[in-house]
Amino acid sequence: MKIDVNGKAVFLYTGGKAMDAGALKAAVAADTPVVLFLHGAQLDHSCWLLQSRWFGHHGFLALAPDLPGHGKSAGEALSSIEALADWVVALLEALEIPQANVVGHSMGSLITLECAARHPQHFKRAVFVGTAIPMPVAPVLLNAARDDEAKAAQMINAWSYGYGQIGGSPVPGMWLLGQNLRLMARQPRGTFHRDLSACNAYARTVESLADIRLPTLFVTGGQDRMTAPKIARAMRETIPGAREIILPGSGHALMAEYPDAVLDALREFFSEP
């Protein structure tokens, strides 16, 4: 479905369930628990298909938006993580959702982190998948994202997967590397560089996370070469009561490499009283 946020049309995937404004409003009025899924750089809602579909069909209101300038959402990609966190709150307000659970991957994990730190009243629980702060982007990748998006996509693919995958997939007939290239190629021109620049510029410190009081979970790939597991561990140790699940064989593309394990981690965490 599409809604208006800050004067721009936003595409909102609802977990494979038919949904219009009336049905969504009724679900919110019935106090249905909400899980909001935030995608990473140069991606869109489709990276969360398996996980959002399960939640959408098992007693939750699953919402996976295309961020501004991504997928089917209008406008340009926003230029900072802080602006994206504010946009997420504007999305919830447009939907008249007082509080949501939120889960984000990579750039989406930084947005989730900023939401938990700056806007805790809008969120119940938070999950960070494939995260690190800082999240520096190598100059060679930033330049490629600006000047040669196809080259940048190849570089991302080379660093995103665990050593044991070699482009394979737990789903028969699926090729992870090719699938990810197609997904990145369909994003609007200029989005890649804006996304990576936003990640590179994000300046929140690990020490500042000590003020977060939401229940939080880290889902980390043991072979992640883009967001180092040791940094996620330091973040987890700083947030009071935070937990971590490590998927030893996974790289950075956890939802694609280990979709069932990621789903199991989310199911357990968001089903807790």
Dihedral angle computed from the Cα positions of residues 42, 149, 4 and 8, in that order, rounded to the nearest 10 degrees = 150
Residue 77: both structure tokens together:
């990609």
Give the pairing type, strands 216-221 and 100-105. unpaired
The Cα–Cα gap between 146 and 192 comes to 7
pLDDT score, position 182:
87
DSSP H or E run through 36: strand 34-38
pLDDT score, position 37:
98
Start-to-end C-alpha separation, the chain: 30
The Cα–Cα gap between 28 and 97 comes to 6
pLDDT score, position 35:
98
Residue 27: phi, psi to the nearest 5?
Answer: -65, -40
- Supply the pTM of this predicted model: 0.95
The Cα–Cα gap between 47 and 29 comes to 28
**DSSP-based three-state secondary structure for 201:** helix
Q: How many other β-carbons are positioned within 10 Å of the β-carbon of residue 221?
A: 27
pLDDT in tens, the chain (273 residues): 999 999 999 999 999 998 998 999 999 999 999 999 999 999 999 999 999 999 999 999 999 999 999 999 999 999 999 999 999 999 999 999 999 999 999 999 999 999 999 999 999 999 999 999 999 999 999 999 999 999 999 999 888 888 655 555 555 555 677 888 888 999 999 999 999 999 999 999 999 999 999 999 999 999 999 999 999 999 999 999 999 999 998 999 999 999 999 999 999 999 887
Sign of CA dihedral 221, 179, 198, 62: negative
Residue 236: both structure tokens together:
């987890």
pLDDT score, position 170:
56
Domains of the chain: 2-270 (3.40.50.1820)
The Cα–Cα gap between 213 and 209 comes to 9
Residue 176: both structure tokens together:
């992870």
Taking only Cα atoms into account, the Rg of the chain, rounded to an integer number of angstroms, comes to: 17
The Cα–Cα gap between 160 and 45 comes to 18
Phi/psi zone of residue 45: left (φ > 0), alpha (ψ -120 to 50 degrees), beta?
alpha
